[in-house]
Structure 1
Amino acid sequence: MSSPEHKQKIWQLIDDIKVGMLVTLDDGVPRARPMHLVQDAYDGTLWFYTRRSAEKAFEAQSDRDVCITFSDQKHGVYVSMSGKARLRDDAELIDKYWNPFVAAWFEGGREDDDIAMLEIDIDFGEHWQARESKAFQLYEIAKANVKKEHKPDMGENEKFGH
């Protein structure tokens, strides 16, 4: 697992992005769909609202191994995180993260029988962050092509977890 400092760094990378692509297995075939973060900090677990009747909920129960990716092309930030998913119907959790954005998706409100929290405990991941502008990145690529021995320096890349 990562240190508290590294978890803070991951949060700084994904906090402004907010929407990640959740990948589950649908009868052995990877399937992705957008999910919106609802928490205001990251401690190794990600939280999302979902419907119990949603296909992703059945897929996550059938095979708990999931991946979620976050991407911000404008700022050159890419994060991939893998972990174990599970559904939670804890009323305190539902209340804790409830907000007007979530309310728009659940007509029955917090008491909707179909509402659940999707908890993803992150085991490992990787992130990339460009240090420089697109112009500098193009320069690095051109330099690598001309010199043939130079690998372009596109920024930071780090794996975390096991």
Structure 2
Amino acid sequence: MAQDLKDTFWKRLDNVTAGLLSTDSERPVPMAPQADRGENAIWFITAAGSAADRASQSGGEARFDVADPKAGLYAVIEGKLDHGSGDKLDDVWNAFAAAWLKDGRDDDSVRLVKMTPHKAEVWATENSASFLWEVAKSNLTDATPEGGEHGRLAF
């Protein structure tokens, strides 16, 4: 089951548009993840001096929280932050990042941060119509609704 849930996690994380990234004792901030299962990494584009940038300079720990009903993924992901390279930045650059940085990809403040997950608690839910059916069925039968898969992952 754990391998199936890990596969589901990476597939669905690829469809997540935003989550909350928190580093050290800093407040959580919205960030757009770029999932990269092949490198066991979640990439974030941020600005110089941000909490994520500062934590990545020291190999700090971080937490990324996801609650995305469209992707069917709810997760608490913990891992280590590091700097990313310019080549990888070219791979993950997108219009969302460009909207936040004045000079786009060439902005001097652009920083790429790599999160290497250590562990995660994951809830992979069914689509909303299936979930509504489960709730309705539960109310008629007193059974607990089936909400999808849940488990803890180690990376």
Change (3 A) 1:86 1:154: same
TM-score (norm 2): 0.76
Q: Deviations over 1:55-105 (max 9, x none)?
A: 3322454571111121123675312211101123x2212222223332222
What letter matches 1:19 in structure 2? A
Give the counterpart letter for 1:14 in structure 2: L
Contact 1:128-1:158 at 8 Å conserved across structures? yes
1:138-157 CA-partner distances (Å, limit 9, x unpaired): 6537866xxxxx76543311
Match of 1:19 in 2: 18
The structure number with the bigger radius of gyration is 1
Q: Counterparts of 2:94 and 2:70 in 1: how far apart (Å)?
A: 27
Say if 1:22 and 1:66, in contact at 8 Å, map to a contact too: yes
Q: Which of 107, 110, 113 is the equivalent residue of 2:105?
A: 110
Give 2:147's match in structure 1, choosing from 148, 151, 154: 154
- The answer for unaligned runs of 5 or more in structure 2 is none
Q: Match for residue 147 of structure 1? A: none
From the superposition, tell whether residues 113 and 130 of structure 1 become closer, same or farther in structure 2 (CA, over 3 Å). closer
Equivalent position amino acid for 1:18 in 2: T
CA distance in structure 2 between the aligned counterparts of 1:136 and 1:6, rounded to whole angstroms: 20
User: Where does the alignment leave 5 or more consecutive residues of structure 1 unmatched?
Assistant: 145-149
* One-letter amino acid matched to 1:97: V
Over 3 Å counting, the alpha-carbon distance change for 1:7 and 1:42 in structure 2 is farther
Q: Normalization by structure 1: what TM-score?
A: 0.73
How many residue pairs align between the two structures? 150
